[in-house]
A and B are shown apart, each in its own frame.
Chain A
């Protein structure tokens, strides 16, 4: 479209702002991202944010399923929850922290190996890390029942190596068995969330320029110093992302505690699930999930402050 030039008036120089641009074009373009975002944002608002808000109100309601629930600002539910399920919360965070530490210990060498030592096997190894996902994780968790079965080779080996003596003194196992003990639950959690640790670790290790290692070697750094001063600091974003991706889901998990543990190893997830699906006490379930969420939020905030990495997404 050509600009209409009034006769007599000098033609507007090219590039003059405003006048000849068809009106409405700019605002429309400014709205484009909102239109693109709208469906996803609506979906999350309705099925993620709204339920959380509703959950907050549920946690201070009283009533029953037959008579209906009413908001009575019954904050006492929170007190009851903390009193009755304090142990569950402690266990959840303890097991999740232990599993996260183990994941880091086990996952770091593997991620390092894939990033720096694998050569052309790199993609094959990555597929092998993701491959377990292809079998339903419930089936794989049940396989641990076989692996850790009483009198099986793993338990036998641990017994011969006197590992079980140490763990039972720490209260992690009892009576020469691993199944139905905290150790089994932590082992299952570690196993289930290990890929979530390895992949971000690999992501940040892979980005490290190998010539930095050479430079460190040229400057007479021992491998240990190179790792401490070069590799590990550069992999910190991966460490932070991996620990969060492991710790958060692990602390809310109830599958490992249910399948591999005993009534004495129940986590918060088990309690929430029971309240929601069996006892049908929705306010208690809501209060528990809120406490869980708040505690995780606090833990993550403190951790992120200390780790100092904020650009994660």
Chain B
């Protein structure tokens, strides 16, 4: 019988420098293979965990539920898709949410971009304080901000409604815009602007034709983020909306207590498909443009 292989060491490539255990053993190959794929398997499972609810929302938008709640599958039906606004108040709440999201995005993007330039481009004494002020809203549970702003409005006897929601949304979107734009501005090459100035571009021209286009991806990212945050916000909105202003998330919340119409799933699916389509078209055109350059 052959002795165990380690008693007869094969000639080492570099004398005695290579620890034996570290050399890949042929028997370990399948283990390594499995290990390599373990990441992919686990990652795919995680992706499934993220996406299965969307699939459920899609499937159940074709359901014809028996009772008021759309949690159990009954029969296939396209009723909800042919009549998406058939539920009282739902489409009104949807358009209200869209209006608030557009205005909040506009406000937060303008204010946030200005502030981001200040923080990225200048050194000044209050910078640390300003950074802390911007970081805090992101590091605070929403319910705390929601309750405190609501208490203030209540005691100032401000009427709750569209305006209070808008104020709150601009407030919590600001920080995200600032972080997104600031990151972009800080990664921009200052030499490009110097070059523009050397080529006799005035400050306004330099800003409009060099700085702004360079910062645009950051501004767009911040704007998209704040649109999504505002459109989907529930906690802060619930504390600052008052009884008669119902945004789409608030409508869904109410529906969860009273009975969920299938149309909610239709809206959810439509939004999903629309947004993914926009992103994909954007990707494809970006690739196309990059290739044609």
Contacts and interface: CB of A to CB of B under 8 A. Distances in A.
Nearest to B121: A33
Contacts of B264: 139, 142
B198 to A, nearest CB: 19
Contact of A194 (B50, B235, B256): B50
Given A36-B114, A43-B171, A149-B71, A220 B19 contact: yes
Interface string B252-293: 110010001000110111011011100110010000000000
Contact of A36 (B53, B115, B154): B115
Given A32-B122, A220-B22, A112 B43 contact: yes
B219 interface: no
Interface string A118-156: 000001010111011111111111111111010000000
B53 A143 contact: yes
Nearest to A251: B141
B20 to A, nearest CB: 10
In this complex, which of A47, A113, A133, A290 has the most chain B Cβ atoms within 10 angstroms of its Cβ? A47
B58 to A, nearest CB: 9
A255 interface: yes
Contacts of A273: 143, 238-239
In this complex, which of B36, B50, B72, B126 has the most chain A Cβ atoms within 10 angstroms of its Cβ? B50
Interface residues on B, range: 35 or more
A125 B47 contact: yes
A282 B149 CA distance: 12
Interface SS of chain B: helix
Interface stretch (B74-82, B128-136, B209-217): B128-136
Interface string B121-161: 11010110011011111011111110111111011000000
B236 to A, nearest CB: 11
13 contacts: A40-B115, A55-B151, A106-B49, A113-B44, A127-B283, A128-B51, A131-B279, A194-B46, A248-B141, A254-B235, A269-B141, A286-B148, A313-B131
B167 interface: yes
B111 A43 contact: yes
B29 interface: no
B148 A147 contact: no
A276 B175 CA distance: 26
B186 to A, nearest CB: 12
A154 to B, nearest CB: 9
B143 A220 contact: no
Contact of B174 (A43, A51, A138): A43
A296 B249 CA distance: 27
A293 interface: yes
Interface of A: 30, 32-34, 36-37, 39-41, 43-45, 47-52, 54-55, 58, 69, 106-107, 109-110, 112-114, 117, 123, 125, 127-129, 131-147, 149, 191, 194-195, 198, 220-224, 244, 248-249, 251-255, 259, 268-269, 272-273, 276-277, 282, 285-286, 289-290, 292-293, 296, 300, 313
Interface string B10-52: 0000000011001100000000100110111011111101111
A146 B56 contact: yes
B151 A54 contact: yes
A134 B268 CA distance: 8
In this complex, which of A113, A128, A191 has the most chain B Cβ atoms within 10 angstroms of its Cβ? A113
Contacts of B269: 135
B53 A131 contact: no
Interface of B: 18-19, 22-23, 32, 35-36, 38-40, 42-47, 49-54, 56-57, 60, 71-72, 110-112, 114-115, 117-119, 121-122, 124, 126-127, 130-131, 133-137, 139-145, 147-152, 154-155, 167-168, 170-171, 174-175, 178-179, 228, 231-232, 234-235, 238-239, 248-249, 252-253, 256, 260, 264-265, 267-269, 271-272, 274-276, 279-280, 283
Contact of A54 (B110, B141, B148): B148
B71 A44 contact: no
A143 to B, nearest CB: 4
Given A128-B47, A273-B143, A289-B144, A140 B57 contact: yes
A47 B167 contact: yes
Contacts of A300: 139
Given A37-B114, A110-B46, A135 B57 contact: yes
A43 B170 contact: yes
Given A113-B44, A136-B271, 17 more contacts: A34-B118, A36-B118, A54-B148, A109-B39, A113-B39, A131-B279, A133-B228, A134-B271, A137-B234, A140-B268, A142-B252, A146-B72, A223-B32, A249-B142, A253-B141, A286-B151, A292-B144
Given A139-B264, A195-B50, A113 B40 contact: yes
